[in-house]
């Protein structure tokens, strides 16, 4: 297959959110032979969903070799091992315990694609084992864990990329440049949203024995010890507080990251949130299917919205960021960006402060997840975390803000942030939700 055809298919797959679904034979056919000295050994911890999707993108980077896979589900290990062998002609080493994998001296970097509640412990253990890390977003499930990971990134100096791949999107870069140009006028509000029509109710299912070949104790790890339930396993873990933060953190970090980066903001002054299980009140999930959160920053507000079961979001887009200024609004999402001017009538004439910019589509061959992987590998080869498009500090800012939104929702009131103290002002309940307790013999990492 010609390279152009390959790129078209790769771009289409990424554009519809199927970054890990490229045909294996395409990946194999487009790999280049390079000298052993230039090869980079990568391992995947948690390789069912995004872990595997990220590995397939790294296979498109010259010189990357998959050394090992680790998963608590034997059926997943066998499936992904066969995929790796088809792509690179050599099977990876297989592990059920990530700590054993980290002892493998042939591994230069690890991809962490596990549920959120595992990210902190694994990322810190990896950098302490002298490995570089590509960790899925959100970086952690609590503010406390985010802080530990950010501190570990500084202390150990390894290259740690966060899977907020919109930072590697060329059209996002152009949109941000326009936002910072001042042409929009004073920006008083930024809207960020994710409307997910494909998400249907999570059916209530009884507890059961774990599937054969699943090490459920290892899957739980530091999370509270609960009976196995299929709803909490694999993809749907996102909708349970023990392991994740729902759409607020799952999608929110992508959009909040771009919003705060463009506005050059980091921490809010206050947050309030309202919502709940309004679409599917009786399904099995815990996190809200409908939520609005208002973040107050120094010179603007940010409004987060999410909803499941419907697609008709702001400006007719299922997801995106809108920078609303006095002169115009810039709307950007994964398909492209546009500028919608404000108008004023003067003497019967419709006048514009700025000209409209029609939809600027992302390039047909753009594959920003692959570009994010390339950026990670380039930074490793240069041994320079400063080259990363989304390092651990950047990922931490987005995740901490998203966690603040969830804390405001859980408390049911407006919470005020004390930047100097790193706590919520005069609010013991909200401040208690910053931290987490590890269970089942696991402990928070120590630096």
Model pLDDT, residue 37? 72
Q: Are 301 and 188 in contact (CB under 8 A)?
A: yes
The whole-angstrom separation of Cα 250 and Cα 241 is: 12
Nearest to 132 by CA among 43, 204, 201, 72: 43
Q: How far apart are CA 93 and CA 114, in angstroms?
A: 18
Compute CA distances 134 → 16, 284, 377, whole Å: 22, 31, 10
How far, CA to CA in Å, does 43 sit from each of 60, 67, 79, 245? 15, 5, 15, 26
* 32 alpha-carbon distance from chain centroid: 29
Give the integer Cα–Cα distance in Å for 237 and 233. Answer: 5
| Beta bridge partners of residue 195, listed in sequence order | 307
pLDDT at 48: 92
Q: Which two tokens stand for residue 9?
A: 């298919």
Query: What CATH architecture applies to the domain 3-167+369-393?
Result: 3-Layer(aba) Sandwich (3.40)
Q: How far is CA 309 from CA 197, 306, 380, in A?
A: 4, 10, 41
- Cβ of 189: how many Cβ atoms within 10 Å? 14
Place of tokens 């999570």: 202
**What is the pTM assigned to this prediction?**
0.92
Residues contacting residue 210 through CB under 8 Å, at least 6 positions apart: 216, 228
CA 376 to chain centre: 15
Angle at which helices 368-382 and 50-58 cross, to 10°: 70
pLDDT of residue 346: 73
Q: What's the Cα-to-Cα distance from 53 to each of 12, 234, 256, 382, rounded to whole Å?
A: 14, 14, 23, 24
Tell me where in the chain the CATH 3.40.50.720 domain(s) lie.
3-167+369-393
Closest CA to 136 of 47, 246, 248, 267: 47
Which neighbouring-strand residues pair with 192?
Answer: 304, 321
Q: What is the pLDDT of residue 19?
A: 41
Q: Cα(56)–Cα(20) distance, rounded to whole angstroms?
A: 6
Q: Which of 202, 235, 232, 204 is nearest to 220 (CA)?
A: 232
> Among 417, 438, 437, which residue's Cα sits nearest to residue 427?
417
Number of other CB atoms surrounding residue 396 within 10 Å = 25
CA 349 from centre of chain:
46
Q: How many CA atoms lie within 13 A of 8 on its CB side?
A: 5
The rounded distance, in Å, linking the Cα atoms of 439 and 430 is 21
Instruction: Round to whole Å and give the CA distance between 399 and 393.
Output: 10
CA distance 253 to 276: 19
Q: Which pLDDT belongs to residue 25?
A: 67
Spatial contact of 365 and 170, defined as CB atoms under 8 Å apart: no
- The CATH code for residues 170-362+396-425 is 3.30.360.10
Closest CA to 66 of 134, 11, 1, 12: 134
Which residues of the chain form CATH 3.30.360.10? 170-362+396-425
Rg (CA), the chain: 22
Q: Which residue has the tokens 């390339």?
A: 374
For the record, the structure tokens of 307 come out as 């909803």
- DSSP line for 29-41: HTPPP--GGG-EE
Give pLDDT tens digits along the chain (447 positions).
Answer: 344 444 444 444 444 343 444 677 667 666 677 666 779 999 999 999 999 999 999 999 999 999 999 999 999 999 999 999 999 999 999 999 999 999 999 999 999 999 999 999 999 999 999 999 999 999 999 999 999 999 999 999 999 999 999 999 999 999 999 999 999 999 999 999 999 999 999 999 999 999 999 999 999 999 999 999 999 998 999 999 999 999 999 999 999 999 999 999 999 999 999 999 999 999 999 999 999 999 999 999 999 999 999 999 999 999 999 999 999 999 999 999 999 999 877 776 777 889 999 999 999 889 999 999 999 999 999 999 999 999 999 999 999 999 999 999 999 999 999 999 999 999 999 999 999 999 999 999 999
SS3 133: strand
């Amino acid at each position: 297959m010609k390279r152009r055809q390959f790129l078209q298919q790769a771009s289409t797959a990424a554009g519809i959110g199927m970054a890990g679904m490229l045909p294996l034979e395409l990946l194999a056919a487009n790999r280049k032979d390079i000298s052993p000295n230039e090869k980079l050994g990568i391992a995947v911890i948690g390789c069912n969903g995004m872990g595997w999707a990220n590995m397939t993108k790294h296979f498109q980077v010259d010189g990357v070799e998959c050394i090992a896979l680790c998963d608590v589900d034997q059926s997943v290990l066998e499936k992904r091992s066969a995929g790796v062998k088809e792509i690179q002609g050599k099977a990876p080493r297989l592990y059920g315990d990530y700590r054993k994998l980290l002892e493998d001296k042939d591994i230069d970097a690890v991809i962490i694609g596990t549920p959120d509640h595992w990210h902190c412990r694994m990322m810190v253990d990896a950098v302490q084992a002298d490995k570089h890390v590509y960790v899925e977003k959100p970086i952690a499930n609590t503010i406390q864990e985010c802080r530990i990971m950010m501190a570990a990134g500084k202390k150990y100096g390894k290259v740690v990329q966060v899977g907020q791949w919109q930072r590697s999107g060329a059209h996002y870069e152009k949109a941000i440049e326009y936002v910072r140009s001042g042409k929009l006028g004073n920006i008083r509000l930024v809207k960020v949203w994710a409307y997910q029509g494909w998400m249907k109710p999570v059916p209530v299912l009884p507890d059961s024995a774990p599937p054969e070949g699943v090490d459920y104790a290892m899957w739980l790890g530091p999370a509270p010890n609960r009976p196995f339930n299929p709803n909490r396993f694999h993809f749907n873990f996102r909708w349970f507080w023990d392991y994740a933060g729902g759409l607020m953190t799952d999608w929110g970090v992508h959009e909040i990251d771009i919003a705060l980066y463009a506005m050059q903001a980091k921490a809010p002054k206050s947050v309030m949130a309202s919502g709940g299980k309004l679409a599917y009140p009786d399904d099995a999930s815990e996190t809200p299917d409908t939520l609005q959160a208002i973040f107050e920053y120094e010179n603007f507000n940010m409004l987060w919205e999410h909803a499941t079961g419907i697609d008709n979001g702001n400006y007719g887009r299922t997801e995106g960021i809108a920078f609303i200024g006095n002169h115009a609004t810039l709307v950007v999402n994964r398909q492209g960006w546009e500028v919608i001017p404000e108008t004023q009538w003067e003497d019967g004439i419709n006048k514009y402060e700025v000209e409209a910019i029609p939809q600027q589509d992302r390039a047909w061959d753009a594959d920003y997840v692959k570009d994010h992987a390339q950026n990670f590998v380039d930074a490793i080869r240069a041994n320079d975390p400063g080259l990363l498009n989304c390092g651990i500090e950047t990922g931490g800012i987005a995740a901490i803000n998203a966690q603040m939104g969830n804390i405001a929702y859980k408390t049911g009131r407006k919470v005020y942030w004390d930047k100097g103290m790193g706590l919520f002002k005069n609010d013991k309940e909200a401040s208690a939700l910053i931290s987490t307790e590890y269970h089942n013999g696991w402990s928070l990492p120590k630096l």
